[in-house]
């Protein structure tokens, strides 16, 4: 099973053109249906409040940026007279808001939440990949007592339900004043991501021939120099792929974020569902936030295509 041939098209068993077309049609149909929810959300972001909650749901509508404006601002309702007495709207978004008898009162919390997502995401990714690379190299190249048990222990930390993990973490962070801090979230996400990083990077480093290092050692490099100047440059692709996987995890994580943060360190996932307007969820604004939140993931998915399989199976399946 472990060393089987590459995937070339089946020679005498290659599918006939008709079978291919048929298979293609079903797959494309599935893909289109699967993408539909995402298309709907992207479209909802450009609907006006009334179009978004119209019955029956509107497919054709007048696009507007209201959703995005509402996402980034806090508005107050004013009387027509009050608005008429204001100096003329200076920007396009002021104008848009005034059409609905409102004035902008200030920026919303979305930017700080987005910044939290970025800081916590990149911080934990950097730490996890840094620690993971070192450990993976040691596991890959040195004889370590109980290596398999240690590796399994590192992986088993991922099997706990996040809600279960959050109970003692909550108590611990309360003692250490780490609840609702970016540092606390970075440490927690690093701990979760490091298991993925070690397993993935060990696979990548295993694939780098040892002969390169040996040659360097014979040439008089120390082990650390060989690691830095020979192994690391070879492992760059693997490190980058691992980093993106860690980043996606931290970016998407919800359970820890909702249980351990409430304001200062809150990230986007627990924030998005609570974007509310007058009378319930402000769907165009929620959709706008979702779109902005999802775009980086879509780009990363396309970038990661080749390594996706490895990442989602902790390196168990490689191509």
Partner 1 sequence: MTTILQSESPADRFREQPSFRVAARVRGLSDRTIAWLFIAPTIALLLAINIFPLIWMIRLSFTSLNLSMSYLPLRFVGLDNFSDILTDEDVWLRLQTTARFVVCSVALQVVVGFGLALLINRQFRGHSFWTTMILLPMMLSPAVVGNFWTLLFQPQIGPFNSLVGLFTGAAPSSFSMTGEVALAPWTIVLVDTWMWAPYVMLICLAGLRSIPDYIYEAAEVHRASPWRQFWSITLPMTLPFLMLAVLFRAIENFKMFDMVNLLTAGGPGSTTELVSITLKRLAFEKWRTGYSSALAIILFVTVFGAANIYVKVLNKVKQR
Longest CA–CA separation in the chain, Å: 85
Alpha-carbon gap, residue 315 to 202, rounded angstroms: 8
∠ CA 148-154-162, nearest 5°, is 150
First to last CA, the chain: 13
230, 221 Cβ separation under 8 angstroms: yes
82 binds partner 1 (CB under 8 A): no
40 binds partner 1 (CB under 8 A): yes
18 binds partner 1 (CB under 8 A): no
Give a three-class secondary structure readout of 243-302. Answer: HHHHHHHHHHCCHHHHHHCCCCCCCHHHHHHHCEECCEECHHHHHHHHHHHHHHHHHHHH
Shortest reach from residue 105's CB to partner 1, in Å: 25
Q: Is 73 helix (H, G, I), strand (E, B) or coil?
A: strand
Give the nearer residue to partner 1 in terms of CB position, either 72 or 254: 254
- Tokens standing for 306? 């080749």
* Among the listed residues 239, 243, 283, 307, the single contact to partner 1 using CB under 8 A: 283
Shortest reach from residue 107's CB to partner 1, in Å: 22
138 binds partner 1 (CB under 8 A): yes
228, 162 Cβ separation under 8 angstroms: no
277 binds partner 1 (CB under 8 A): no
47 binds partner 1 (CB under 8 A): no
* Among the listed residues 72, 101, 162, 181, the single contact to partner 1 using CB under 8 A: 162
Nearest Cα residue to 126 out of 240, 226, 232: 240
* Among the listed residues 27, 74, 236, 295, the single contact to partner 1 using CB under 8 A: 27
165 binds partner 1 (CB under 8 A): yes
Shortest reach from residue 68's CB to partner 1, in Å: 16
313 binds partner 1 (CB under 8 A): yes
Residues numbered 175 to 234 that lie near partner 1 (CB under 8 A) are 187-188, 190-191, 194-195, 198, 202-203, 206, 210, 213-214, 217-218, 221-225
251 binds partner 1 (CB under 8 A): yes
140 binds partner 1 (CB under 8 A): yes
* Among the listed residues 86, 163, 236, 295, the single contact to partner 1 using CB under 8 A: 163
Task: For 280, list phi and psi in degrees, rounded to 5.
Answer: 100, -170
Alpha-carbon gap, residue 298 to 296, rounded angstroms: 5
Shortest reach from residue 305's CB to partner 1, in Å: 6
* Among the listed residues 97, 120, 166, 196, the single contact to partner 1 using CB under 8 A: 166
Task: For 270, list phi and psi in degrees, rounded to 5.
Answer: -75, -15
């Amino acid at each position: 099973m472990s060393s089987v041939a590459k995937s070339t098209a089946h020679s005498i068993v290659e599918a006939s053109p008709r079978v291919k077309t048929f298979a293609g049609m079903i797959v494309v149909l599935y893909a289109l249906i699967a993408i539909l929810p995402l298309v709907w959300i992207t479209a909802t972001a450009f609907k006006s409040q009334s179009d978004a909650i119209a019955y029956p749901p509107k497919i054709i509508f007048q696009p507007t940026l209201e959703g995005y404006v509402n996402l980034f601002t806090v508005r107050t309702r004013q009387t027509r007279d009050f608005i008429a007495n204001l100096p003329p709207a200076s920007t396009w978004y002021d104008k848009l808001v005034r059409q609905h008898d409102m004035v902008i009162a200030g920026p919303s919390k979305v930017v700080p939440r987005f910044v939290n997502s970025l800081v916590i995401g990149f911080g934990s990714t950097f730490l996890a990949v840094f620690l993971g690379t070192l450990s993976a190299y040691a596991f890959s190249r040195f004889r370590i007592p109980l290596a398999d048990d240690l590796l399994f222990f590192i992986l088993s930390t991922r099997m706990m339900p996040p809600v279960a993990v959050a109970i003692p973490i909550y108590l611990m962070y309360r003692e250490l004043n780490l609840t609702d801090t970016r540092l606390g979230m970075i440490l927690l996400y690093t701990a979760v991501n490091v298991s993925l990083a070690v397993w993935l990077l060990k696979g990548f480093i295993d694939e780098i021939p040892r002969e390169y290092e040996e040659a360097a050692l014979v040439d008089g490099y120390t082990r650390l120099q060989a690691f830095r100047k020979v192994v690391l440059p070879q492992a760059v692709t693997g490190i980058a792929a691992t980093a993106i996987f860690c980043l996606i995890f931290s970016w998407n994580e919800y359970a820890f974020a909702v249980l351990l943060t409430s304001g200062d360190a809150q990230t986007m996932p627990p924030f998005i569902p609570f974007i509310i307007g007058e009378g319930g969820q402000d769907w165009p604004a929620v959709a706008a936030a979702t779109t902005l939140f999802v775009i980086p993931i879509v780009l990363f998915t396309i970038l990661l295509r080749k390594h996706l399989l490895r990442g989602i199976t902790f390196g168990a399946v490689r191509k």
